[in-house]
Amino acid sequence: MLGGASAERLPVARDLVEAGVAPVLAISHTHSAGNVQADGVCEYPGVIPFTLVCFQPASLDTRGEAAAIGKLVSEKGWHSIIVVTSRYHASRAKALITQCTTADVQMVVSEPDLSPFGWLRRFVVESGGLIDANLRPECAAAD
């Protein structure tokens, strides 16, 4: 699960593990205001009854998370991952993450509660970010 909007994303990620779709819950642990619920799970791992991996990206953005996920996938020997993020963020996140791993990357989205202006703002930000992700790749995926 990517960091930020954890009140929205964490229930979706937990549901995937509880349903047996994913054997491990990996959470970006960012110590940021939007990640309070997820950070709480990482700080008190006994509150969940399944395998938990918390990772701290070097930079608190999607690029840092993509690099951290690539490293985690390599260390754990995973061949496929499910990444949970908000609907507006999925395209850019997948572009960056697939630059950092050759594992099969499946995106699962949570549904944010945004106003029309909030959706417009996210569209502008994410469109610019997607262009940037393609012009400036984060890392070279292993062959």
What pLDDT, in 10s, does the model give residues 40-52? 999 998 878 889 9
Q: Could you tell me which residue, 45 or 112, shows the higher pLDDT?
A: 112
**The pLDDT of residue 139 is above 80:** yes
Residue 62 pLDDT? 94
Residue 140 pLDDT? 60
For the chain, what is the largest distance between any 2 Cα atoms, rounded to a whole number of angstroms?
42
- What would the pLDDT profile of 55-105 be if each residue is shown by its tens digit? 999 999 999 999 999 999 999 999 999 999 999 999 999 999 999 999 999
Mean pLDDT of the chain: 93
SS (H, E, C) 67-105: HHHHHHHHHHCCCEEEEEEEHHHHHHHHHHHHHHCCCEE
Place of tokens 């509150």: 47
Task: Give residue limits of the domains in the chain.
Answer: 6-135
Helix (H, G, I), strand (E, B) or coil at 56: coil
User: Does the pTM exceed 0.75?
Assistant: yes
HSE-CB at 62 with a 13 A cutoff on CA atoms is: 24
* Mean pLDDT along residues 3-19: 95
Contact 94, 127 (CB under 8 A): no
